[in-house]
């Protein structure tokens, strides 16, 4: 998100030194702070746990055949749908 430690600290309502400690493996945020960080970054707490544990992100099977109607709904909500037959059109 390109936030400085100070900006994240302000949004989560903790000190800049707390954020620095988390970034340098000096400790982990408690449950409430994890929830606030997830909200600020618009991700799930589960996703934050994956980052902490250095697990790879979830993968999705993109070979599933979806209907044009579903694609239209996704695109209407701001998702960019890459269609294999149109990859060269981007």
Per-residue pLDDT tens over the stretch 42-59? 888 888 888 777 777 666
**CA 71 centroid distance within chain:** 22
CATH assignment of the domain containing 19: 1.10.260.40
Q: Is residue 20 part of a domain?
A: yes
Is the full-model pTM beyond 0.85? no
Cα separation, 89 vs 82, in Å, equals 10
How large is the angle between the packed helices 5-12 and 31-41, nearest 10 degrees? 110
Structural domain count, the chain: 1
Per-residue pLDDT tens over the stretch 5-18? 999 999 999 999 99
**CA 33 centroid distance within chain:** 16
Domain that holds residue 38: 5-52
């Amino acid at each position: 998100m390109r936030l400085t430690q100070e900006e994240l600290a302000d949004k989560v309502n903790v000190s800049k030194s707390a954020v620095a400690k988390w970034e340098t493996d000096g400790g982990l945020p408690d449950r409430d702070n994890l929830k606030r960080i997830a909200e600020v970054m618009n991700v799930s707490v589960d996703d934050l746990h994956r980052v902490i544990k250095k697990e790879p992100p979830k993968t999705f099977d993109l070979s599933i055949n979806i209907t044009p109607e579903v694609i239209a709904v996704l695109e209407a909500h701001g998702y960019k749908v890459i269609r294999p037959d149109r990859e060269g059109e981007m």
